[in-house]
Amino acid sequence: MINFNIIQDFRDQVNANSHYTWYAYQNKNGKNYWNIICACMDWIDVGLECMDGFSFDRKKLGARGLEVFTYISAIDIVWESIQQLHRAIINENEVPFSGEKEVFINDVLHKDDNAYFKHIRAVFGAHPVNLSKDKNNDKWFASWPTTGIHEKYDVALYLYNVDPSKDDIIFGFKFAELNEFFTKRYNHLSYLAKKLEEQYQDYKSSLILNKIRPTTNIEDQLDILEEELNKRLSNDYFEHLVDQIKRIYKATVTNENNRETIEDYRGKVKRVVEELTIKIQNVDYTDLEMDHIVYSNHPQEIHYELSKLFECLYGHRKDEAYDYYIERVSKFLNPYVQIDKTMSADEIFLLLHVGLYNYWDSV
């Protein structure tokens, strides 16, 4: 039974922490390790899906020899992918479990587990009649796989030497050992996920020590926060919130009847900026407690018109019904702000936020 949670947990870690892994690995020492990480995760999924549900029938080995090879190849795909992940995340010159001889106890070739597995893959289907020469420069060829030629193995074959004076070798494996080899290496993903989290925490600690420059000018503060977000981890929610607030402060007030209400609202938005500054300083990209001041729900009565109006104000589309949307929304929000279709897009944008906040504050 394949534990798919291990690869899913690794994927979750890769995508966690405001996509730190993408930020750190999309250009590391001039190489795009992010692409490597994505490719490896995808191929691990392919290998696991192939392995899941595999069963072995001794009576049909001749006919199903390639199915055994497919199972071995699926393990190899997963293992190769994990090696690449290890190189990308830990050390590009290091292969995990090198030198270990803990799994294949009947190792007639005196190889470590990694090398023994590669030999299993080669002789059981990858290139059984074109095997590499051994350390003694001997050339070997594999027979077809069978059962019962040696009790130490579930599946075995003969390795024939091209030198007629040399004896054949019985070579094989047990499925229990093969699965142990796979499990140990597959579980290495949990270690790699832990290392990604440690790397993120180290990076986060370094950012926290880098204090954000304070200023009493709210618009300057927003520019500073925008710069800090570019230096730190990208976060769509925080970046959009900063853009929204900058536009709220950017607008020029043309109707003096709205000024007092606007200034009161902007004073509340300033508290959002203060919370934003603290969170960015601490690299805490969880939602703000006070973002409701900027992000208001749309009242049901004008939900459609508001949605269309905001699309126009964001510049996503032009709409011939723009004046109609303004008329409907301004009438609904008239107890709180006065909106006129001749106002600039920035001023209408501001007044919508002011009006919506005061509407919900009054109900």
Domain membership of residue 198 (yes or no) is: no
Domain membership of residue 106 (yes or no) is: yes
Q: How many domains does the chain have?
A: 2
DSSP-derived secondary structure for 246-300 = HHHHHPPP--GGGHHHHHHHHHHHHHHHHHHHHHHHTT--SPPTTGGGTSPPPPG
- The answer on 300 and 180 residing in a single domain is no
Domain that holds residue 30: 5-191
DSSP-derived secondary structure for 189-257 = HHHHHHHHHHHHHHHHHHHHHSPPPP-S-HHHHHHHHHHHHHHS---HHHHHHHHHHHHHHHPPP--GG
- The answer on 143 and 110 residing in a single domain is yes
Domain membership of residue 171 (yes or no) is: yes
- The answer on 123 and 215 residing in a single domain is no
- The answer on 180 and 248 residing in a single domain is no
Domain membership of residue 21 (yes or no) is: yes
- The answer on 286 and 178 residing in a single domain is no
pLDDT 10s per residue in the chain (363 long)?
A: 799 999 999 999 999 988 899 999 999 989 999 999 999 999 999 999 999 978 766 555 554 567 888 899 999 999 999 999 999 999 999 999 999 999 998 777 778 999 999 999 999 888 888 887 776 777 888 888 776 666 788 888 888 988 888 888 888 899 999 999 999 999 999 999 999 999 999 999 999 999 999 999 999 999 999 999 988 887 889 999 999 999 999 999 999 999 999 999 999 999 999 999 999 999 998 999 999 999 999 999 999 999 999 999 998 677 899 999 999 999 999 999 999 999 999 999 999 999 999 999 998
Q: Kindly report the length of the chain.
A: 363
- The answer on 288 and 148 residing in a single domain is no
